[in-house]
Amino acid sequence: MIKLGVNIDHVATLRQARMGAEPDVLEAALIVEKAGADGITVHLREDRRHIQDSDVYNIKKHISLPLNLEMACSDDIVNIACDIIPNTCTIVPEKRMEITTEGGLDAAGQYSTVAKVVERLQNKGIKVSLFIEPDNSQIDAAKQMGAEFIEIHTGLYANTEGEKQLQELERIKNAANYAHGIGLIVNAGHGLNYTNTQKMAEVEHMHEFNIGHSIISKAVFTGLYEAVVEMKKIVRR
C-alpha cells in the first residue's frame, strides 16, 4: 500500500500572509495525523516564505508521524536539520524567485556538493531522499552517493495532458522500475491531485507520495481531515 505524506507548507503560507499565528501549523499536523496520513512533510526554504524554523521544531516535538524535511543544499538549513533530526530529509533544488520547486535536483551535475550533504545528514542518523527527474543518470547518482530514497518529480506529468502525459507516466514507470532494481526506495510528488493521482498509484514500486497544494486547496472547502481521508482513499489503490 502506498503511503501518503502530507505537505502542510501552505497552511504556513496562509499564516504568513498576515504574519500572525493562524492558521496554526501544528494544529494542521495534528489533524493530518488523526486523519490517517503516514507522514508530515514541510519545506524549510532559505527565504522562510512559509514554514519557519519553530514550526519544524514544534512538529518534531509533538507529532508521532515520521517527519520529512524538504531542504536545499544550504549549510544553514543542513545545520538546522542536524539539530532537529527529522526521520527523512528530501534534498530539493531551490531558486529564490520560483513560485514552487521547479524540476528535480541535478544530483549528477552537482555530485560532490549533494554527496557531502547526504553524508552529513546520514551521520546524524537521518535517512536521505533526493528529489530528481525520472532519469537514469540522476538515479545512478543518488544510488552512488548512498541515498536511501529518491522522490520522482511528477510535475511534468501533472502539468501535461493526453499523449504527453502518458509518455511522462511511462518515463516515471521505467524510472521507478530502474531505481527499485538497484535498491532504492521510490517516492513521488509534485502537482499530484484528486484526479491525476490514481494513475500514479498504479505505478509499480511506489512507496510514498508527498502531496500538498491539492490537499490544502480542498481543505478550504471540506476541512483538512476530510481532504486527507479522500486522498488517502486514492493513494491506497
Q: Which of 10, 33, 50, 70 is catalytic?
A: 70
Give the shortest CB-209-to-ligand PXP separation in angstroms.
8
Using alpha carbons, list the distances in angstroms from residue 167 to 4, 61, 91, 131, 172: 25, 42, 26, 20, 9
Among 2, 51, 86, 101, binds ligand PXP (CB under 6 A): 101
Q: Which of residues 27-46 bind ligand PXP (CB under 6 A)?
A: 43
User: 3-class DSSP state for residue 42?
Assistant: strand
Please compute, for residue 41, the number of CA atoms within 13 A of its CA located in the half-sphere on the CB side: 29
70 is catalytic: yes
Alpha-carbon distance of 205 to 220, in angstroms, equals 32
DSSP-derived secondary structure letter, 163 = H
Question: What is the per-residue binding string for ligand PXP in 45-84, x denoting contact by CB under 6 A?
Answer: -------------------------x--------------
Q: Which of 10, 43, 50, 153 is catalytic?
A: 43
For the record, the C-alpha cell of 80 comes out as: 538546522
Give the shortest CB-105-to-ligand PXP separation in angstroms.
9
Helices and strands of the chain, counted as H and E runs: 11, 8
Alpha-carbon distance of 81 to 1, in angstroms, equals 29
Among 2, 6, 7, 120, binds ligand PXP (CB under 6 A): 7
207 is catalytic: no
Among 84, 121, 212, 232, binds ligand PXP (CB under 6 A): 212
Among 179, 186, 211, 234, binds ligand PXP (CB under 6 A): 211
Give the shortest CB-104-to-ligand PXP separation in angstroms.
9
Alpha-carbon distance of 197 to 214, in angstroms, equals 11
43 is catalytic: yes
Question: What is the per-residue binding string for ligand PXP in 155-184, x denoting contact by CB under 6 A?
Answer: ------------------------------
Q: Which of residues 185-204 bind ligand PXP (CB under 6 A)?
A: 189-192
Helices (H), the chain: 9-16, 25-34, 53-62, 75-84, 111-123, 136-144, 155-159, 162-181, 197-201, 213-222, 224-235
Active site residues: 43, 70, 190
Which residues bind to ligand PXP, rule: CB under 6 A? 7, 9, 43, 70, 90, 92, 100-101, 131, 151, 189-192, 210-214
